[in-house]
Amino acid sequence: MLKTHDDTMTKVDFYTGSSDKLRTACQLSHKAMQHGLRTVISLPDATNCEMLDKLLWQYPDTAFIPHCRSDEAAAESMPVVLHYGGEHFPHHDMLITLHNECTPFFSRFERVIEIIGTDEDDSRKGRERFKFYRDRGYEMRHFDLAKANPS
């Protein structure tokens, strides 16, 4: 479903300073699930998808986050869907993206979350994406995870 002029524009949240982007994706998707939001987590490759799949089975420690991959039949009913490759999405509530560039399909979602790591290259690419969204007029918020969880 592409947005029409009557739909609200995608909202974009940046979470910077993540020491573990996969774990941050777990935390944010768990929080979204608790608020009744369905989430697609888009990953750049099969390796990261597999690593996140395993992590979701163990997070949080006392439970797990029901999830599957976007090409599975159960994707329509899952609160969290893992995606890499293709452009099939079972819903358009929230997208957590772990890519190094803006995904061409981000505007199909009501909300996009960009997770930025702590290394300089990831930070630089995150700033480029921030500028991309800002220059196009998207409503944006920023959360600094390093300030929220000082070590």
Residue 89 in any domain: the answer is yes
Q: What is the pLDDT of residues 85-136, one digit of tens each?
A: 878 899 999 999 999 999 999 999 999 999 999 999 999 999 999 999 999 9
The reported pTM is 0.89
What HEC string does 9-75 produce? CCEEEEEEEECCHHHHHHHHHHHHHHCCCCEEEECCCHHHHHHHHHHHCCCCCCCCCCEEECCCHHH
For the chain, the domain total comes to: 1
Q: What is the pLDDT of residues 18-48, one digit of tens each?
A: 999 999 999 999 999 999 999 999 999 999 9
Which CATH number belongs to the domain containing residue 110 in this structure? 3.40.50.10110
Residue 137 in any domain: the answer is yes
Residue 20 in any domain: the answer is yes
Range of the domain at 28: 11-145
